[in-house]
Structure 1
């Protein structure tokens, strides 16, 4: 029986996505098993910011056991037999990536604009 979000006959699955550099990132994302691994990585790039060429993707089952590394970009995603509830883990291999160093999660790392009381008092408005 199809869920509300799944059209009958649609061969898609709902997976949890985690990221090596973004600990608070874990959305549920729907994927077609007919997509190529490269298309899966492109979809993940749009979700997490890690470029396709800098991405290693691992598939885990619902018990947390690693099933496969998705390294062959030409294979259909269904080759790895993913199931609803499995997890894709994105590993960002680029040390200068926007996701590295905690920049997307820790706002204390971002330089803040400050304005003295005197300068604020001089502003119009």
Structure 2
């Protein structure tokens, strides 16, 4: 399970997020692997929209989750793809891209890759 307290302690040691950027924590429960990425919000939105366009219509959450797992297995070079796919997973559950980005901009986000599921959510404050 994702440990919000440990995540906040870890993130507290980092420089603040730049204005117009978002901080994303990627956590693999099985390997206790953590990656933190800071990225500008505009390119993230473009990447997310591209993933959503490429996916077509309907519920493709399982495909997004499979892709996240594949990229995670490849290593940190694929962190931007994991973040874009995580955004698409949020879109599948929230349904409104503006609402997704309002949430992303207001919190540090986390992608938790568990054996049975991938959870994308804000780090609890």
**Is this a same-fold pair by TM over 0.5?**
no
Higher relative contact order (CA 8 A, sep 6+): 2
TM-score under structure 2 length normalisation: 0.32
Give the structure with the larger helix fraction. Answer: 2
TM-score under structure 1 length normalisation: 0.32
Larger of the two Rg values belongs to structure: 1
